[in-house]
Amino acid sequence: MLTYFDTPIFEISTSVSQMAGLRVIVKREDLNHPSVCGNKWWKLKYNLERAEREGQDTLLTFGGAYSNHIYATAAAAKELGFKSIGVIRGEAALPLNPTLSFAKECGMNLHFLSREDYRKKSEGSFVESLTARFGDFYLIPEGGSNSLAVKGCVEFAKEKLSSVDFDYLCLATGTGGTLAGIIEGLDGKQNVVGFSVLKNGDFLNEEVRGYLEHSGKEYSNWNIQTGFHFGGYAKQTPELNQFILEMKQHHHLPLDPIYTGKMTAGVFDLMKKNYFARGSTILLIHTGGLRPV
């Protein structure tokens, strides 16, 4: 079992939030583990338990070159004694970036695929070819999102958020598993706003609905904002980087440019547009993505 450290909630006050009449609080879930941090801890929890229960000694998963999930899975595998394989979208580029360098240092076997071949990752014949190449393994999907990941995020919402007073919860989303789990865990009591870090992220609405089907309930208290991707996954703009710098300098809130920076910038833009009801409290979930320096 991975170690979990309880995480703090603190308030940030800016001229934007004051003008909008809003209270903004942040749960620093990025501090729940040194390397398997943020939502990745919760998404991996039950997957790791099942892999161990099934007697598997190898984890195989998928991700891009800057994937938080690849980083976290490699670290979790090392801590718990699993071997790990990362199937990486795109050709290998040397030297490896910090994310992939860390994964390799943790013992992860990196297997690079062309983008065309990577699209086949969910096909049965493709998974069979991976088994033929690497032997038996426990497969964790891209981003870690599956029913077990959703189960972990439901638990997070019930155990860690039920005593927090807020009206809106905001978080970054890439595959929809964390968002779905939080929606279910809150059981319709507050508004949940996801911020797609992907260009053309409208498909995430169907992904989330799919994850929620097993609950037997229909939730109408959520939506996904798709206009704050800043060019697409792992893309950045000078405006985004300046916002991240100011949040760190003025409010001691470190953000990453791939996930939490985009989400937080989106929240502040929506504040200016009076999206949130005046007098409300907005809870931001810091889902990790920061790298040790």
Structural domains present in the chain = 9-35+146-285 (3.40.50.1100), 39-144 (3.40.50.1100)
pLDDT at 131 over 50: yes
Q: What are the backbone dihedrals phi and psi of residue 50, each rounded to the nearest 5 degrees, phi first?
A: -65, -40
Structure tokens at 172: 């970054």
Q: Over range 101-124, report the average pLDDT.
A: 94
pLDDT at 292 over 70: no
- pLDDT band for position 293 (cuts 50, 70, 90): very low
* pLDDT (tens digit per residue) in 40-59: 999 999 999 999 999 999 99
Average pLDDT, the chain: 95
Q: How far is CA 4 from CA 37, 38, 162, 277, in A?
A: 9, 10, 18, 34
Instruction: Please answer whether residues 220 and 226 qualify as being in contact, where contact means their C-beta atoms are separated by less than 8 angstroms.
Output: no
Instruction: Please answer whether residues 176 and 182 qualify as being in contact, where contact means their C-beta atoms are separated by less than 8 angstroms.
Output: no
Please, what is the Cα angle at 22 between 16 and 25, to 5 degrees?
A: 95
Stretch (H or E) spanning 225: strand 222-225
Q: Over range 101-127, report the average pLDDT.
A: 94
Structure tokens at 84: 């790990």
Q: Over range 93-106, report the average pLDDT.
A: 94
